[in-house]
Amino acid sequence: MDKQDKLMIIPLGGLGEIGKNLTVFRFGDDIVVLDCGLAFPDEDMLGIDLVIPDMTYLIDNKDKIRAVVLTHGHEDHIGSLFYLLRHADVPVYGSRLTLGLVEGRLKENNVTDRKLVPVAAGDIIKAGRFEIGFIRVNHSIADALGIYFRTPVGVVVHTGDFKIDQTPVDGQIIDIHKFAELGNQGVLVLLSDSTNAERPGYTKSEFTVSEALDERFAAAKGRIILTTFASNVSRLQQAINAGCKYGRKVAVLGRSMVNVVTKAIDLGYMSIPEGVLIDIDEINRYPANRILILTTGSQGEPMAALSRLAHGSHRNVELNPGDTVVISATPIPGNERSVGRIIDGLLRLGVEVIYEKSSGIHVSGHASQEELKLILNLVRPKYLIPVHGEFRMLKNHGKIAEGVGIPRENIFFGENGHVFEFTAETGRFAGKVPAGQVFVDGAGIGDVGNIVIRDRRQLSQEGVMIVVLALDKQRGIVVSGPDIVSRGFIYMRDSEELIRDARRVVKEVLERGENKPITEWAPLKSSIRESLGKYLFGKTGRKPVILPIIIDL
């Protein structure tokens, strides 16, 4: 069988991680890209703003890309599209809300004039030899889609991020009939969301949040401040509904929240009765119990509005005892401490804070184990690739699949860059393509690599000590210095003696026979680093970065 008759599925992001989802589908010379997201940096990626997938493979094959298809509008699914579209002018298909959010991101990155094609659940498009269909799913953002591909070797289904919400707030239940129909017709491969594969049972319906909010809103005496992910339009709608019920005006605080609410109202995904929405500057005109503020910062982001409110440092809004803050979100792993600090800050202000999972004011947007089983049983795929999760989540998803009868050897655990190759009958691992992470730092994409990060790490731990010498090149002798400057090592004003001694150590190096006259700089610099490093470690137990700089005259 010819290579041309095989389907290749290549995840370039989203395996072994929750972030920067990007999956490539290739049949012969036709490539379709599903999602194109970013990740937020780990704590050890110092100074990095964002992380995007390595797209070398796509850029090398850009003439073959027929389409990008998007499942939904979260950053981890759309956030690196600007970069792909800079290199490849290909049409992008997504739901209206998704494209609305994409437009904003592209504009911020000066990518314009690209072909954005709105699709709706039930639509079918053609892209090379792929026929691509869109399926309504439930998730923590409106207008989320699953996507299936009819290919010459069979049907592939990708769930996107999903949950099965039997009572969604917008009435738009996941199209379980379509999944059933595809399953009946026969599905070769399923790619399915593994985020909550460690969680037993069912994820609760978004609707259950309404009751919990209603109870809290009924009891609140002062202002109510509610925070959630800006993109969770259904959650915001529920908060607005509860606010309206108790006669509160609604103000929106925080740039990203304002953006999303504006976009969602424009596109008809959110409705606010006439006269309810007020400007944040107007809130003081109303009694406290007539105000609901929707705001950003549910993950403890230090620059977001909620953090400023908790520290009493917001320009326009001040919280008072008797106000209620509702944190309608769960901290993403790694954010627990910063969220905890914000809660503590709010409590110190005398504010009531509703934050516990058990309080019912938040539900997940991802399918738990029973939902994963249901999708597996509906779709009945021959092969499963668990996607969208840390490795342990993928493995858990695999166990669940074995439990409903998928043979172990038909479940593929991959890493980003792995190529999975399918014929109508077979599936196998078939090598690797370049994959990895590319750092975005300020305006630079990919120019900060491991060496720069390693330097930042060293600097961050013990700071830097700079030793400057001026050298008379002809005579090979030092005519000025050593001068010493340090940052992040010790407080220089309190350490005159140490600095003086450090200078003495460098002078001793210069006095050594082998350094008179000075002909080679490299060995001199390393002697300085070594002697000074030893001295400083002995005195302080620390190892700053030592930078000898020699000026020649």
Contact residues for a second copy (CB under 8 A)? Answer: 16, 42-43, 46-47, 198, 200, 333-334, 336-337, 340, 343-344, 347-348, 353, 355-356, 358, 390-392, 395, 441-444, 447-449, 451-453, 455-464, 466, 468, 470, 479-481, 483, 485, 487-491, 494-495, 537, 539-542, 545, 547, 549, 551-553
Please indicate if the annotation marks 366 as binding a ligand: yes
Of 275 and 321, which CB lies nearer to a second copy in the complex structure? Answer: 321
| Annotated active-site residue in 366, 388, 397, 418 | 366
Of 251 and 498, which CB lies nearer to a second copy in the complex structure? Answer: 498
Of 40 and 229, which CB lies nearer to a second copy in the complex structure? Answer: 40
| Separation CA 474–CA 122 (nearest Å) | 81
Of 225 and 240, which CB lies nearer to a second copy in the complex structure? Answer: 225
Residue 552 falls in the annotated catalytic set: no
Give the 3-state DSSP-derived string for 431-461, with helices as H, strands as E and coil as C. Answer: EECCCCEEEEECCEECCCCHHHHHHHHHHHH
| Separation CA 331–CA 340 (nearest Å) | 9
**Shortest distance, position 253 Cβ to a second copy, whole Å:** 23
**Shortest distance, position 479 Cβ to a second copy, whole Å:** 6
Task: Compute the C-alpha angle 318/319/325, nearest 5°.
Answer: 135
Please indicate if the annotation marks 298 as binding a ligand: no
Residues ≥6 apart with Cβ < 8 Å to 110: none
**Shortest distance, position 395 Cβ to a second copy, whole Å:** 5
| Annotated active-site residue in 161, 165, 193, 323 | 193
Task: Compute the C-alpha angle 293/295/296, nearest 5°.
Answer: 175
**Shortest distance, position 348 Cβ to a second copy, whole Å:** 6
3-class SS of residue 159: coil
Residue 72 falls in the annotated catalytic set: no
Please indicate if the annotation marks 365 as binding a ligand: yes
With contact defined as beta carbons under 8 Å apart, do 149 and 25 qualify?
yes
Q: Quickly list DSSP for 77-132.
A: HHTTHHHHHHH----EEE-HHHHHHHHHHHHHTT--S--EEE--TT-EEEETTEEE
Tokens of 260: 């999303």
Please indicate if the annotation marks 139 as binding a ligand: no
With contact defined as beta carbons under 8 Å apart, do 20 and 430 qualify?
no
Of 346 and 379, which CB lies nearer to a second copy in the complex structure? Answer: 346
Extract long-range pairs of 108-114: CB within 8 Å, 24+ residues apart.
Answer: 108/82, 109/82, 109/83, 111/82, 111/85, 111/86, 114/85, 114/89
In which order are the strands placed within the sheet that holds 50-53? 50-53, 437-441, 444-445
**Shortest distance, position 430 Cβ to a second copy, whole Å:** 20
Binding site listing: 362-366
Binding site listing for substrate: 362-366
Q: Please give the positions annotated as active site.
A: 193, 366
